[in-house]
Structure 1
Amino acid sequence: MQRMRVVLNAKAGTVRDLGPERVRRTVDGALARHDLDVEVVVEEGEALARAIASAPREGYDTVVVGAGDGTVSYAASVLANTEVTLGVLPLGTMNLLAYDIGLPRDLPGALAALHDARPMRVDVGTLNGRPFHGVSGVGFFSQMALAREQVRERQGRVVGWFLALGKALMRSGRFSLEVEVAGAREPIEAYAALVTVNPFDAPGWHRSRLDGGLLEVLVAEERGTLARLKTGAEVLVNAWRDKPGIHAFTAQRVTIHARRRRAWVATDGEVERETLPLRYAIAPGALKLLVPRDAIQWRTRQSEDVT
């Protein structure tokens, strides 16, 4: 019999609003199958991390994480290069990975989609050797993440986003960087750089492929405050890729050099001070991820199989 551990963040808004025991029972009932032994735990902090990290050695075949992108990224780093499958539930603030694979934002809808999801081998990226599942950004993006952390407990999602945007625009400044791909360096006076595991090339911040085997790097030139504001709005709707002043690179390995020794870097929603240069690489097919059957990524794979 297959074994699944579901780890829910006790501090997630849905858990706090409905109550831990009610959510636990709802999740357990929705995911139960005759051939699946499901354990649902509600934890926070270090206990949350331990429940995820211990699952592979305790014999679980699947670990489902109901938390924010940072915790999901931690789970991906634990489960990468193993045969244990990762599932996600959108209980955090941004839920970028859950949204990317088409999981509904409401708990009943997400559970129904997860119940019928299938495992897909997907790529993960690494930053200075540490795995991440989605996006990593410097400059404006790291300042945006820092500002969002400061306002999210006091404001609603939309109002908080615009307040964070304003703070990030004020704090972001010009910095000189060089993007190194295949030994060649391109110098750019920039205010933001974003590295993603496969391009977010489908409308509305979706990736058409999770297994394309490429990193995409998007760098925004420093062109003044108005240009920053415009780009910030375009980032929200993922409409900035082909705009003037945007440099795009794809590769399996990318290194970002800068004159500074350390910088704030936002990776899958978590902001850390990183030592430069920033060395990114992709690990093809390193993670097994539960992806809903109607996700765009399955449709892309099917269309490629037909051709």
Structure 2
Amino acid sequence: MLVVLNAKAGHLLDLGADPVRRQVEAALSRADRDVQVVVAEGDEMCRLIREAPEAGHDTVVVGGGDGTLSYAASLYANTDTVLGVLPLGTMNLLAYDIGLPRDLEGALDALHTARPMRIDLGTLNGRPFHGVSGVGFFSQMALAREQERERHSRAVGWLIALAKAAFRAGRISLELEVAGVSHPVEAYAALVTVNAFDAPGLHRSRLDGGLLEVMVAEDRGALARLRAGADVLVGAWRDNPGIHLFTTRRVTIHARRRRAWVATDGEVTRENLPLRYVIDPGALNLLVPRTAPQWRTRRADDVT
């Protein structure tokens, strides 16, 4: 097992890289498993993750945020390499979906006895991602959050980013192509998720459902944007009348522009349009704690 810890992750900056490295090594080492723990950043971190399978590591644990995990998932998609995660970043959506505790000691305990599960990935124009990808309001929210991260506490930064995104996000004329049917809409945001965030607390009840969920928010003015943004943050968007939902295996998003900012798993990139999203069922071999709710869902499927 190779464990790659992002030196820029908040936990390492708060606690110190060496103490965290020693704690991780002590927690995950056992008689039948060789563990190597490395602290790195930037290009060096990416190189270690990329070259890990060739170096003989069959399991790679990434300690960082959703962006670092998304990079690793894109490399290990449709391979036998097992990916594990330590939630050391800001959102950590996938880590919390599988029930990893927010404290490092608890996460290490859960990871110590985790076992591999095949989960779905999505692809955006051919590139894999594990969680969410959004345009309009959602990309503006991600950009504003990056700007406010170093200036304010997490809670205050989120509120400021929400307000900025609500007023920066303009109307977009979108055309969604779902199952061969065109859906034109005047919107200010669209979000595509790998399986539905249908459980309380912004969680997914399953990671192997084989479907994308597409959420489109109609443009109803600045106050409606603020409300919709707040509903998304607390997981209440399904009751918002201005938000439309689709489930599908693939969706293509067209717009009257050549390029757009897209926030995917916390990273913002400039993408060429149209945006083509496709589900890739069972693409990633992920270490999932034995207590994760997704194991119960899978056992229920086996019974039925």
Answer with 114-123 or 238-247: which moved more: 238-247
TM-superposition CA deviations, 1:134-164 (whole Å, max 9, x none):
0000000000000000011111111110011
Do structure 1's residue 47 and structure 2's residue 44 form an aligned pair?
yes
- Which ranges in structure 1 are unaligned for 5 or more consecutive residues? none
2:179 to 167, 179, 182: 182
Q: Aligned-pair RMSD on alpha carbons? A: 0.8
CA contact (8 A) 2:100 2:110 kept: yes
Equivalent position of 2:168 in the other structure? 171
CA contact (8 A) 1:218 1:241 kept: no
2:142 to 137, 145, 161: 145
Deviation at 1:30, TM superposition (A): 0.3
CA distance in 2, matches of 1:17, 1:255: 42
Equivalent position of 2:297 in the other structure? 300
TM-score by length of 1: 0.97
Deviation at 1:306, TM superposition (A): 2.2
Deviation at 1:266, TM superposition (A): 0.1
For 1:76, give the aligned amino acid. Answer: A
Deviation at 1:56, TM superposition (A): 1.0
TM-superposition CA deviations, 1:171-210 (whole Å, max 9, x none):
0111100110122110010011000001111111111111
CA distance in 1, matches of 2:54, 2:279: 26
Equivalent position of 2:73 in the other structure? 76
CA contact (8 A) 2:134 2:192 kept: yes
CA contact (8 A) 1:123 1:211 kept: yes
CA distance in 1, matches of 2:149, 2:278: 31
Do structure 1's residue 57 and structure 2's residue 54 form an aligned pair?
yes
TM-score by length of 2: 0.98
SS in 2 for 1:63: strand
Deviation at 1:242, TM superposition (A): 3.7
CA distance in 2, matches of 1:115, 1:236: 31
1:162 to 159, 163, 168: 159
Do structure 1's residue 108 and structure 2's residue 105 form an aligned pair?
yes
TM-superposition CA deviations, 1:243-268 (whole Å, max 9, x none):
21211111111100001111100000
Equivalent position of 2:221 in the other structure? 224
Q: How many residues align?
A: 304
- Identity rate of aligned residues, in percent? 75
